[in-house]
């Protein structure tokens, strides 16, 4: 399941085991290309949580985390950032980086 997250939910959501955060915006065409890849990924990797954070609605948090380009995908394990991807990523690249 892919779930939208906002700043107030941030710490609670990151406490989940393995979380991939998708920093995106509605006007971003590459983000729209990335979306179906993430949908496939979450179906194939049971136990993975994918959260979407709209940078337009959450500017402070995206700036604080150093997100300068979108799409940016950040992989967290127990609240700790373990990998960052900038730009469109293939399902294969993402799968090879995610250890559940």
Q: Per residue in 20-54, pLDDT tens?
A: 999 999 999 999 999 999 999 999 998 899 999 99
Q: Which of 5, 19, 31, 65 is an active site residue?
A: 31
Q: Which of 28, 45, 61, 86 is an active site residue?
A: 28
In CATH, 1-26+50-89 is 3.40.190.290: no
Give the strand pairing for 49-54 and 2-4.
Answer: parallel
Check residue 17 and give its pLDDT: 84
Per the annotation, the verdict on 31 as an active-site residue is: yes
- The full set of domain ranges for the chain reads 1-26+50-89
Which own/partner contact pairs does 33-42 have at CB distance under 8 Å and 24+ positions apart? 33/88, 34/71, 34/73, 34/88, 34/89, 37/88, 37/89, 37/90, 37/91, 37/94, 38/2, 39/2, 40/91, 41/91, 41/94, 41/95, 42/1, 42/2
The one-character DSSP state at 7 is G
Choice among 47-51, 54-58, 96-100 with the minimum mean pLDDT: 96-100
């Amino acid at each position: 399941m892919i779930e939208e997250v906002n700043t107030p939910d941030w710490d609670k959501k990151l406490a989940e085991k393995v979380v991939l955060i998708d920093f995106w915006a509605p006007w971003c065409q590459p983000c729209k290309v990335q979306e179906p890849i993430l949908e496939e990924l979450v179906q194939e990797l049971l136990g993975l949580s994918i959260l979407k954070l709209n940078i337009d609605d959450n500017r402070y948090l995206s700036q604080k985390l150093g997100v300068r380009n979108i799409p940016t995908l950040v992989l967290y394990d127990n609240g700790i950032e373990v990998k960052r991807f900038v730009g469109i990523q293939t399902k294969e690249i993402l799968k090879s980086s995610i250890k559940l």
